[in-house]
Structures are given as structure tokens and as C-alpha cells.
Amino acid sequence: MDELHHDQIAKWERRWIAGSGLMSLIFVILIAFNLATEGGHIAAVAARGTPETLLSQQIFAEPGLRITGPGQAQVSIVAQAFNFVPERIRIPVDTEVTFYLTSRDVIHGWQVVNTNLNVEVIPGEISVLRYTFTRPGTYLMVCNQYCGVGHQNMLGQLEVVTASDFARVEDDAMVADVLDGAQLYAANCASCHGPGGAGIAGAFPPLAGHAAELAERSRPYLIDSLLYGLQGQIVVRGTTYNGVMPAWGQLSDDEIAAVLNHIVELGGPTVEPFEADEVAAERGKGWSPADVLEFRRQVINQ
């Protein structure tokens, strides 16, 4: 009787072992099949350090696309709350692209829809991976790691174009390299403050009308909040906000002036246009977001 019982158990054990062995085999075959048909796109870590040291590297000085040779390009992207810099990148088709990604603040995700590009973007690391787009089209970039209140708005686009379209657009860009405050706003500010500057109640203060009022009280404050960011509790029109405004010091003096001019035109009193040298004068203070908050308490009587 005991003997028989033991045999029964051994039989079931063999079945379970065979079953799990088969499952492992199927997984290995699936992975091998994917690698063979799609290729492996596992990101390597190219460098580690603080976000500041990584962002000061040459490759991130001007994020975006660089053609490095025939059929070869580099694309660098900075992920930050809550957008990708740059938000739109034009890439020629059939070009082997080496992507360099890093985060300015918290962990983000970078997924390119309809491809197998999917990387966790970690502050203090540069992730590198290669990919060749073989079909023109617009590919959506999304952040797929929850990173804060604006996470769902963290989107971007890769525009894959034919070689001739790419050449033509590059020429156009050379000719029309004008600073467009509205475009800068759409790329950098709209994901939190809204396309028309209405803000999000309780999360991001409104800019339409309010920014122009602030400019009347203190133009340097408005510039400083862009250059150095702002962190801590503020009250805008009776609503308390306790968010984080990232610093936008990576924008040039001209760009900051252009985007401020767009913002003060969203409503409110008429403001004399901001000039680049006015922004330049505020640079070099080396302020922290907390310093800006303190300055706000002094000059803006909220």
C-alpha cells in the first residue's frame, strides 16, 4: 500500500516537472522569436552621476537629433516633470539612431508606441539604445511611469520622414529660425499650465492674466521663477498651490524673453515686452527655488 502511494506521488511529480520544463521552454522560444524578428533593444547604461553632471555633458547641451554620418544619427532626450525635451524630433527614415536618455528629476518612462522602444529613464543614469525606423510616420512618445500630477500629459512625438523631406525641412528650419514664444510655451509650459494658461485648480496656478499682474509688481520675479524654478506654498487668487515649478535655465535669454512675452499676452494688463538683456541680468544669481519663493513673499503681496 505504502509502495503504491509513493509511486502515485512520483508520477505526479514527474508530470509537474515536465509541465514546468515545457513552460520554461516556451518562454525561451518566445524570447528567441522576438529577438530574431524585432531585434534586441535593451538599453545599456552609458554613464552614472548626478543629474546635474550628466546634463552638463555635451550630448545634452542641445537635446535632439544630430546626424553623425551617412545613415547614422544621435538623438538625446531629457525627461523631466512633465515633458520630454525636445517634445518633437524629426528623424530621417532608415537611419540607425542611437538614443541617449536621462532624467532631470524623478524616474520617468520612455515608450515609443508601436515599436519595442521602452526604457525606464532614471535620474543619474544615461540610457543608450539603438533603433532604426524603417517606415515614415508619426510615433507617439509617452511616459509610462507614474511621475507626478502631470504624468498623463507627458507626451511627445517622433516624426519619421523620408530623406528628401528631412533635407527640405532642415533647409526651412535654417531660414525660419525665429523665436516663437507660443511654440516655446506649447513645448515647455502647456503640459502643466494648460494650452491657454488657465492652469489646473489646486495643482498648477493659472498664468493667463495673473502673469501680467505679476510683471506689473516685479519683472525680475517673473524672470527668476523661470530661471531658477519655484518650490513651496503659494496662494494665487485665493487658491493654495504647493507644487514644483522646474527651473528653465537651459533656455536661452532670448527664449525666456520670448516665452514670457507670450505668457503676459494671455491676458491681464499690457506689459512692456521682455528683452533678452533683462533676462541676462537675472542670470548668475545662482538662486534656489526656495530663494525664489522668499523673493516672491517680499515682492508679491499675496
What is the rounded CA–CA span in Å between residue 302 and residue 299? 9
Tell me which of 48, 61, 146, 235 binds ligand CUA, using CB under 6 A.
Answer: 146
Contacts with ligand CUA by CB under 6 A: the residue count is: 8
Question: Does 119 engage in binding with ligand CUA (CB under 6 A)?
Answer: no
Neighbours of 252 (CB within 10 A): 13
Cβ closest to ligand CUA, residue 143 vs residue 222 = 143
- Taking the complex as a whole, the smallest distance from the CB of residue 153 to ligand CUA amounts, in Å, to 9
Q: What binding mask, one character per residue, do residues 212-231 give for ligand CUA by CB under 6 A, x or -?
A: --------------------
Which residue stretch of 138-146, 241-249, 273-281, 292-300 sits at the interface with ligand CUA (rule: CB under 6 A)? 138-146
Residue 27 touches ligand CUA, criterion: CB under 6 A: no
Selected from 51, 78, 108, 296, the binder of ligand CUA by CB under 6 A is: 108
Instruction: Select 154 or 266, whichever has its Cβ closest to ligand CUA.
Output: 154
Which among 50-58, 70-78, 145-153, 288-296 is the span making contact with ligand CUA, rule CB under 6 A? 145-153
> To the nearest whole angstrom, how small is the minimum distance from the Cβ of residue 121 to ligand CUA?
8
Given the rule CB under 6 A, which of 18-26, 146-154, 197-205, 272-280 is the region that contacts ligand CUA? 146-154
Is 262 near ligand CUA (CB under 6 A)?
Answer: no
Query: Which residues are at the interface with ligand CUA (CB under 6 A)?
Result: 82, 108, 143, 145-147, 151, 154
